[in-house]
Structure 1
């Protein structure tokens, strides 16, 4: 994965959302890459795709999908994969990613899409489904896919291993990489505490990261979350909290200075706020010894 030309830190970008399309193209802030949701740019043409093409002239682009449903037992939607393959060919992104979730299934004889990132069970049956679907996507795109860990609000009794072990096995079997969302790890740990877990959330997150071999992570995500009292929600609507910055530092030390992205999807602030968060991520890696991130 490419590192930035900025000496002493891993490459850092922001999620590029519609309110900032024009301002980013006008100001061209100092970013190493931008990331967009793939599905927003499906289609053969139009203004939206033209805007992405303009951005691609100035920045590497990472395509982050939310609709493949890699854990769906009914497989990958052929139309969706066709559209993604065409977008990849047009944009030549630095990375392509989606989530370790399911989204599609059969109901009353019809195939339905939930339009959400639904959690999966961590067992052999689900692993076989995920491996088949990830491999199909990789074969079509002719490149490794990055798979992101999920913030989940329920767990399956049929799970027989933890999430990190499941994802490590997915990497070993398919050759894919992981997109590790450190905020998702922390949200899950906070909700586990609310459900009665005695584990310290921060310590649990560091242990989660330590279960993954360094070479399997290709990108990190940073975001904010909100506390609803009886549940913590991964809403991507605020600044990164202190604990998530601590987890991020540990991740960069362990995984060797991989590209990092700041996400903000609700209550989107001025572009300057996202750039401040990206600068924080850059500053953290600048203070990690060069031998770690080089």
Structure 2
């Protein structure tokens, strides 16, 4: 049986960065929980040590922790890396987080002269073959960890002609087959909708909100493709854009309140800026709860 008993508190979390340790530990702020990237705390044989791990243990005594993986390559064609999965399990066992999540993407390639790990979360065609592979990988992760995981919807920059499922339909099928939960990244929805010319609000309407255990909000950059068409890049490097706040408000009104994370992973600002973003999300959650 998968452990589905733990739930994040109904409030706002932030992605933890060590520069904010004192602010989080000592200050009064709207943050109710914290997220870490698993790979930042995984040593060669298990959980890393030293000051970062000591700080994490101290924070985990006061805050629920969500562990967010970026390196399992759930959609990869090869098998999951057993060493990576073992080190992840060691970390999960060490800190006993409230939640674990990963991405619907692939980031490894195990054939040819360029095999290895890519520092990107790459898209997948939504086919029956992909569905079977993703579900097999999720089953392995959940069986190894002994807990339910959440799967995050990706940010997309292209669509595959071979896809036979829509993205929401694909995610719904994964949940049905594996019993996993979902992580709804609202910024990813907005980015994908712009890049693929679909309606973000229709996507939110169709999403299986009953499976959502967590929402993510983050920033994106604006660019152009070679034809001059607007292209949005999910980079977690700035404040949440106003249209994404509107889409988040709509998601809450559609599905009810969900634990919400502010992601800011590059060009990390001073604490006051990050706390201000968290407060904006907290206000919207409070309005829905009221």
Does TM, normalized by the shorter one, top 0.5? yes
With over 3 angstroms needed to count, the CA separation of the structure-2 counterparts of 1:110 and 1:136, relative to structure 1, is: farther
> Are 1:208 and 2:199 counterparts?
no
* Conservation of the 8 A alpha-carbon contact between 1:179 and 1:218: yes
Write the mapping of 1:147-226 to structure 2, written as runs, cut at 5 A.
Answer: 147-192=151-196, 197=197, 199=198, 204-226=199-221
> What is the CA RMSD across the aligned residues, in angstroms?
1.7
Cα distance in 1 for residues equivalent to 2:117 and 2:102: 15
Q: CA deviation at 1:111?
A: 4.6
Cα distance in 2 for residues equivalent to 1:67 and 1:133: 13
* Conservation of the 8 A alpha-carbon contact between 2:76 and 2:107: yes
Q: Is there any run of 5+ residues in structure 1 with no aligned partner, and where?
A: 5-9
| Alignment partner of 1:54 out of 52, 58, 61 | 58
| Alignment partner of 2:70 out of 66, 71, 96 | 66
SS of corresponding position for 1:160: coil
The equivalent residue for 1:286 is 286
Bigger drift between 120-129 and 104-113 goes to: 104-113
* Conservation of the 8 A alpha-carbon contact between 2:156 and 2:195: no
Cα distance in 1 for residues equivalent to 2:268 and 2:132: 38
Work out the number of aligned pairs and report it: 276
* Conservation of the 8 A alpha-carbon contact between 2:103 and 2:152: yes
With over 3 angstroms needed to count, the CA separation of the structure-2 counterparts of 1:30 and 1:20, relative to structure 1, is: same
Write the mapping of 1:3-82 to structure 2, written as runs, cut at 5 A.
Answer: 4=9, 10-27=10-27, 29-43=29-43, 44=47, 45-82=49-86
The equivalent residue for 2:228 is none
Which TM-score applies when normalising by structure 1? 0.89
Q: Is there any run of 5+ residues in structure 2 with no aligned partner, and where?
A: 1-5, 226-230
The equivalent residue for 1:235 is 235
Cα distance in 1 for residues equivalent to 2:218 and 2:30: 20
With over 3 angstroms needed to count, the CA separation of the structure-2 counterparts of 1:40 and 1:75, relative to structure 1, is: same
SS of corresponding position for 1:21: helix
Q: What stretches of structure 1 move > 6 A for 4+ residues in a row?
A: none
Q: CA deviation at 1:110?
A: 7.5
* Conservation of the 8 A alpha-carbon contact between 1:69 and 1:76: yes
With over 3 angstroms needed to count, the CA separation of the structure-2 counterparts of 1:3 and 1:88, relative to structure 1, is: closer
Q: CA deviation at 1:96?
A: 0.2
Which TM-score applies when normalising by structure 2? 0.90
